[in-house]
Amino acid sequence: MPANIIMKILITSILILNLAIHVVPQHLISSGTSAVESKPASARPTYEDYKRQRENFLQAEEYHFLGANVTLNENEQLVNKFLMRLKLEEMVKGFNDSYNFIPARHIFEVLDRFGQSKVFKVIQRLPKGGVLHAHDMALGSTDLIVNATYRENLWQKGNFGVSHGPQFKFSKEKPGKEWSLVSEIRQWMTDKVYDAKVGEIFSLYNADPLNAYKSLDDVWSKFQNLFGSLAPLITFAPVWRQYYHDSLKQFYDDHVQYLEFRGVLPDVYDLDGKIYSAEEIVQMYYEETEEFKSSHPEFIGAKFIYAPGRFATDDEFLKIIDTAKRLHKKFPTFLAGFDLVGQEDPGRSLLEFAPALLKLPASINFFFHAGETNWYGMKTDQNLIDAVLLGSKRIGHGFAVLKHPKVLKEIKRRQICIEINPISNQVLKLVQDQRNHPAALLFSDNYPVVVSSDDPSFWRSTPLSHDFYVAFTGIASAKQDLRLLKQLALNSIEYSAMNSEEKTSAKEKWSQAWHDQISALATDIVAGSV
């Protein structure tokens, strides 16, 4: 074959390979030009050339947005035009008065203002797919916890208003001389006052959060104490079942059709003194999930991630590993995988647990919390490296990921999904102004991400709508539109622990719900009733 023909084939092959690696829009490709043209150092572009280059540059950026590849049908375009008009109005107003821009403020300072946002109201109506990062004892609203205090045989030790708060316990008999029946306390406090007190102690909410919590360690201390105080109340077996079932209903009402939740498997007990085994607790979850699915056909389902504390000793961790294996054997499809929870900075690192973790069967998926920190070069942010090397399918929070460029490359190459929890990151003092959230980069360059709510009960937020709103208006570009929200919903199915058959069914259910809601929204927009 002649040398000139061989050379042409080689050049053509290289061009095709380059396009396959990094495709750019056709209008940005022309002979001898690029999105940003180069000229001799001594020459400047004309103003017309400059404007054209600038437009190409902006279009090239937008081409990489998360959701940029989503195509919208006629109704979606109508809804998108309406939604973006509302979004632009809010953002222009915020641009001129940033103090009153909701995502720029602590959620506790502006909770009552979400309901005034028309963007938020639209987001509430949209099917959001699934929540892939949440914790079993903080799923449902504090109202569900208050409801539990109306049950019989509930005792209380201690008073409201002290730093540690009262203790609760269900028992047939008086647990001790310092204990009183809650039903009797209610009589002299009144139900209204008592309910308000319970709502206060089982929430991180404070009207002056910036002064109430001086540091990350400060808020984490109260945060972790919440779980300890809540446990005897919520881990009473009948309450445990009811709380989970009612939480599923709240997620469903917020147009969340799927849930993957973490759980430490605490001591669940009953009035006869029985302490339920790990298998029995997960069985409760499974039964309640199946019952909810049967009564709510549009609901896709739920899976459980076993997530014990990261403060476990080596001996305790051996027992944890054994529990994980038993659960995996008994619930091969309902158990989504394994994680470790608790504040990362003082907790043990993934590196310390790695020898034992590597002995778990490869069929047990890892979904590690990693990089939930503001530190750089410490053991906490290096958990990100270990999460990648240990084969984690998703990474919880990943807040410090921008400080590790190689991790960024690997999560895109390996398609490791980052579970972003905007409100949690703010309440737990990683970021104050959501416009500074590192997820902005992940949204801008089509990284594998989902948005979740972590512990919505403790910050008095909805199961997902508040986090979606903050992500859409505060973290994403002002130009990112309905396609972003649709992509996030699709990602929550794609990066879930469901198998391929389950994902196919899930996408069908979500697509139908999305179609119905978009059609209803389009009708309301045309009628002027939104």
| 321: its two tokens | 């590993």
Q: Look at the block and give the residue holding tokens 């919440």.
A: 226
Token pair 């940003």 in the structure block, residue: 36
- 184 counts as catalytic: no
3-state DSSP assignment of residue 33: strand
3-state secondary structure of 6: helix
Q: How far apart are CA 428 and CA 28, in angstroms?
A: 43
CA 416 to chain centre: 15
3 state DSSP class of 398: coil
Which residue type does 338 have? F
Residue of 397, 404, 437, 466 marked catalytic: 397
- Considering the candidates 76, 90, 288, 372, report the single residue annotated as catalytic: 372
Q: For this structure, is 466 an active site residue?
A: no
Beta bridge partners of 168: 156
DSSP string, 191-259: HHHHHHHHHHHT----SSHHHH--SHHHHHHHHHHHHHHHHHHHTBHHHHHHHHHHHHHHHHHTT--EE
485's enclosing H/E stretch is: helix 482-494
Tokens 């940005």 sit on residue: 28
- The answer to whether the CB of 453 falls within 8 A of the CB of 107 is no
> CA dist 318 to 162, 337, 357, Å?
38, 17, 10
Whole-angstrom CA distances from 202 to 222, 383, 463 are 10, 30, 16
Identify residue 432 by its one-letter amino acid code.
Q
Check: CB of residue 61 under 8 Å from CB of residue 471.
Answer: no
Q: Return the active site residues.
A: 372, 397
